[in-house]
Amino acid sequence: MSITANICEVLLVEDNPAHAELIKRRFGERYPNIHLRHVTDGQQALDLLLQQNQSLDLSSKYQPACILLDIRLPKISGLEVLRQLRNSGEFTKTPIVILSSSAANQDLESAYKHCANSYLVKPTNLSDFFELIDAIGNYWLDWNQAVSN
């Protein structure tokens, strides 16, 4: 059974409003059972994921099924968010997909060094962008077999 058969959470950490809107729209069209939560900077992502997760009430912890993370973010970079999440112990099993405009080898190496599950470069062509978003949904939310956190 796919994860999209049930309601699940996906966190989008993206500061570009146009990219965020395209991703939200495409997920909404293709995956009506996905609740896509969007934050616009690295600090908001860490506050949502780590601060809230310090609660002793396990039922109140925010545990997205997947995190889509841009690298170039205000306040705290996506690479630093990735590093802190992986070092926290709370998000070692959560798929974290880097979704960036950067194809720089240094960014790619840093992302994988900090255990990103995937590194994808955003296409500049709209149809290719939608195709990439569809592939993310298909792979990470339908086909991938995730371990429960």
pLDDT per position as a tens digit, 82-124: 999 999 988 999 999 999 999 999 999 999 999 999 999 999 9
Task: Give the pLDDT of residue 7.
Answer: 76
Task: State the first-to-last Cα distance of the chain, in angstroms, to the nearest integer.
Answer: 18
**Residue 55: pLDDT above 80?**
no
Helix axes 105-113, 78-88, angle to 10 degrees: 10
Rounded to whole angstroms, the Cα distance separating 23 from 89 reads 28
**Residue 2: pLDDT above 50?**
no
CATH architecture of 3-142: 3-Layer(aba) Sandwich (3.40)
